[in-house]
Structure 1
Amino acid sequence: MPGSRGAPVSLIFDEDIRIAEEAADLTITLLSPIEDATRHVTEIKVSSSICRKTITPGTYLNSILHASADKTEIALGGDGPEEGENKEGVLVWFAHLHKLSEQRMTQLRLYEVSITGVWHAIRLWKYHEKEADVKALQLWFNKWYDTTGVRDLDIDSAKFLALPCQIFNHAVGFARVTKFLAYNHIGHVKERQPKGFKAKFMHIAPAEFIGPVNHARGGLKTTLHKNLWKKTGTILRFGTDKCNCWDATIGRYLAALVKVDAFPVDDVMPRASFHEIIDRLRQFELDWVPPCGRCRSIDWVYEVRMAIQATQSYFDGLCLDCMDRSKPKGKNLDDDYWRHNESVGGRWDTNCRIKHNQSTWYVSWLGRDDTRQKLLKGLGGYRVDADE
């Protein structure tokens, strides 16, 4: 079979798949995209009445069904080099059109599809079932995440998983991937779609993903630098007249940080993730005995460990509940609305599905910054101004 520019393409016929439990009177010949000069072909047995009844009029598949002379068989995916449909996404789509049971979807291994298949399932549902909420796939996605998900995250899989977790309001998954990106990404975090995916309408608003994650990275940088510098800064401000070895002590400490390639933080960040920097700091050693007792009493290894601990505990991942509560939902926002976002008994994760600290609440905030600052002051510090 010819492919792009006449290049030969091998066809691989996969095993037929029966979606309809009964009355499987329509065969859909599914053509996959061409990859490595190979195209997979799968025949899917479905119910024509269910497809005609449930698919939104005017959509691509509906048009094919009505235009086809043979009402018992149609092709889906086209035959051009840029055409083709993702098999996993199509199977999830048709399984939900036919309202298959969880047991049947398990038999079809729909809880084991790839993250790319998840994206295509969402795309197909959002595009073809415009009158139906994509949350119809919610239970399937929840079980997919628990069954398969992405066991070992890397940078790409974390970016790919963010959108489905946000769409399906999966708080644990969204926190997990955003925390992973904040600590493991090198440089500015950007959104990314799976390879070959071209649906531009599927993305997360920058203010709800890229912006907050990079904000968290800025907070990590500040926290790490502040804690590594804290003891040094105290000596420089208040202790230079108390001994003659303060400069050598500070110099040795900073040199030891540079030796493990963890300082200055601003210089290291463009070429290392926070996870890597923290691993380097665990190798920190200071082979130096200052002449004076005051400088000898400073445990620099302890100071570095505290910096590691503060950095590791800074961000728990974006909280979808905090984001939802803080996102403005109208023009006249009264005092009671904003008070749903304040701490309760010193905790900032009350009524949230994930446990998190104040800094995570701060980064997850989607409302006005001046209101966030007022809420940080506590109950007595928040007042509604006349112009709010």
Structure 2
Amino acid sequence: MNFATAVLLTMDGLPARSGIAMSLVSDPDISLVDNSDLTITIISPISEKGVKYFTDVLVSSDICNKSAYLKALLDESKDKTELTLGGDEKSKDDGDTKEGTLIWLAHLHDLTQQRMQVLGLFNIPLMGVWYAIMLWYAHQDGKIKDSLGEWFNTWYDTNVAKVELTVPMAQALAYPCYTFDHAIGYARVTKYLAYEHIGHIKERQPKGFKGPKYLRINERMFVSPLNHARGGLRTTLFKSLYSRVGRILRTESTLCSCWDATIGRYQLALIKCDAWSIEDVLHYSSIAQVVRRLKAFQYNYTPNCTRCRGIDWETIVLKAQSNTLGYFNGMCLDCMDRSKPRGDDSDEEYEKHNQPVGGRWDTQCRIKHGQPTWYVSWQGRPDIREKILRGPDGYPTPEEE
């Protein structure tokens, strides 16, 4: 009689725990291998309704003994044919999930992609991905990318590639994409956050995840550069909208008597779109929200002089939208890796390795991107980055454009 059965029998009589009443619900058994001789019962954390779900997974004891963690549990168990994971009555947040544990066990048994497809392991929720990562780091050796990378790639294509992102979803996807070196996914979620996040961008684990806090991306690889990118977007949007106004104020205000009304009505039209001033609206708006509002821009004032009437404010606003939306392509994992200092390279070799080729900054990358993405993704010394930018094929830094 396994643990789950014992708890069920207990609950027919006296309560199994103090506080809310708890019940166990059995999910269908899952067989990983044909020649199974060990049953692992996975018990989920208790739900808000006081329910725990348990699943019997049929596995190979020989394979499980290759895991130091499972071997230790089997050595301590009196019954070598049954094992229980989860179900800790001292804490309702024991951190074990069926999906994460199944991913771990499936790769321990070296199941084929076809077999994992049959078992539905490419359709698990994002929370299961996090628990699979947590369990691997806790109980397995070797690089997780080498063991679970192919599975994650298929999972991403199945569940995320064609799904519209949200800010919480993008935040929760960042760590798995980074962990599995998924260049397209990491670029996508970091681009989305730079454009769609309101205020300072932070890294967050998925809501409800009970794993360790150390499962996070180094700040230099995510938070700092991404907020730098958002600052670049803000600057690009502001300069694109303001540059013509600035030129009038600096050099053209003496040429006519309607210049002040001309730029005043322009700024009023931006305010009516809730897109001006940039610093004010970004306190409660994302970059993308401001850009979308500019679609409603209308300049209905007719200046007195020919010069002011010739200013095409609608085109200026359209270019501001285009400049901003095309500025940042997300963080590039290849640029990040290539720009990390390596002690065995000379400065000359290091610089050459990171220079643009034919004016392009993405010739050695898995995603297409421009100079701002390269600049934001840089992980090396700032002085080397500036030297590369000012070389024969270099460009001004984003701040100088």
The verdict on a shared fold, with TM-score over 0.5 as the criterion, is yes
Q: Does 2:46 align with 1:34?
A: yes
* Conservation of the 8 A alpha-carbon contact between 1:24 and 1:45: yes
Kindly provide the amino acid, as one letter, of the partner of residue 154 in structure 2. K
Q: Deviations over 1:239-292 (max 9, x none)?
A: 011000000111111111111111111111120111110111111111100000
Q: Measure, in 2, the Cα distance between the counterparts of 1:249 and 1:9.
A: 71
Residue 160 (1) aligns with residue 169 (2): no
Residue 118 of structure 2 corresponds to 107
User: Match of 2:390?
Assistant: 377
Quote the offset at 1:317 in angstroms.
Answer: 0.4
Quote the offset at 1:79 in angstroms: 2.9
1:271 paired to 2:280: no
Is 1:280 aligned to residue 293 of structure 2?
Answer: yes
Offset from partner CA, 1:348-382 (integer Å, 9 cap, x none): 11111111011111111111111111111123889
Cα distance in structure 2, aligned partners of 1:327 and 1:178: 19
Match of 2:261 in 1: 248
| Alpha-carbon contact 1:78-1:84 (below 8 Å) kept | no
| 2:149 paired with 1:141 | no
Aligned-residue offset at 1:129: 0.4
One-letter amino acid of the structure 1 residue matched with residue 75 of structure 2? H
Residues 27, 73 of structure 1: 8 Å contact kept: yes
Q: CA deviation at 1:331?
A: 7.6
Does the CA-based 8 Å contact 1:126-1:134 persist in structure 2?
no
Distance 1:289 1:49 in 2: 84
Deviation, 1:6, is 2.3
Note the alpha carbon deviations across 1:146-187, whole angstroms, 9 max, x for none. 122361211111111111111111111100000000000011
Q: Which residue among 216, 219, 235 is the counterpart of 1:222?
A: 235
**Match for residue 203 of structure 1?**
216
Query: What's the CA shift for 1:84?
Result: 4.9
Is contact 2:93-2:210 (8 Å) kept? no
Query: For residue 7 of structure 2, what is the aligned residue in structure 1?
Result: none
Relative to the length of structure 2, the TM-score reads 0.91
In the alignment, what sits opposite 1:363? 376
In the alignment, the residues of structure 2 paired with residue 357 and residue 219 of structure 1 have an alpha-carbon distance, to the nearest angstrom, of: 13
Q: Paired residue for 2:141?
A: 130
Which moved further from structure 2: 75-84 or 3-12? 3-12
Amino acid at match of 1:155: V
Partner of 1:66: 75
Superposition TM-score, scaled by structure 1 size: 0.94
* 2:88 is equivalent to residue 75 of structure 1: no
Evaluate the alpha carbon distance shift between residue 381 and residue 104 of structure 1 in structure 2; reply closer, same or farther with a 3 A threshold. Answer: closer
**2:229, 2:376 within 8 Å by CA — same for their partners in 1?**
yes
Are residues 165 and 96 of structure 1, via their aligned partners in 2, closer, same or farther at CA, if it must alter by over 3 Å? Answer: same
1:189 equivalent to 2:194? Answer no
In the alignment, is the contact (CA less than 8 A) between 2:41 and 2:55 conserved in 1? yes
* Structure 2: distance between partners of 1:132 and 1:185: 32
- Residue equivalent to 1:319: 332
2:8 aligned partner:
none
1:175 to 187, 197, 200: 187
Partner AA of 2:260 in structure 1: D
Which shifted more, 200-209 or 189-198? Answer: 189-198
Q: Deviations over 1:57-82 (max 9, x none)?
A: xx3x3322110000001111033222
Give, in angstroms, the shift of residue 330 of structure 1. 2.2
Aligned partners of 1:200 and 1:338: how far apart in 2? 36
Q: 2:45–2:52: 8 Å Cα contact kept in structure 1?
A: yes
Shift of 1:347: 0.6
Q: Tell me which stretches of 4 or more aligned residues in structure 1 moved more than 6 Å.
A: none
Give the aligned residue type for 1:305. Answer: L
Question: Which residue matches 1:385?
Answer: none
Q: How far off its partner does 1:329 sit?
A: 2.4
Provide structure 2 residue ranges, at least 5 long, that are not aligned to the other structure: 1-10, 396-401
Partners of 2:308 and 2:239 lie apart in 1 by 20
Deviation at 1:200, TM superposition (A): 2.2
> 1:307 corresponds to which residue?
320
CA contact (8 A) 2:359 2:393 kept: no
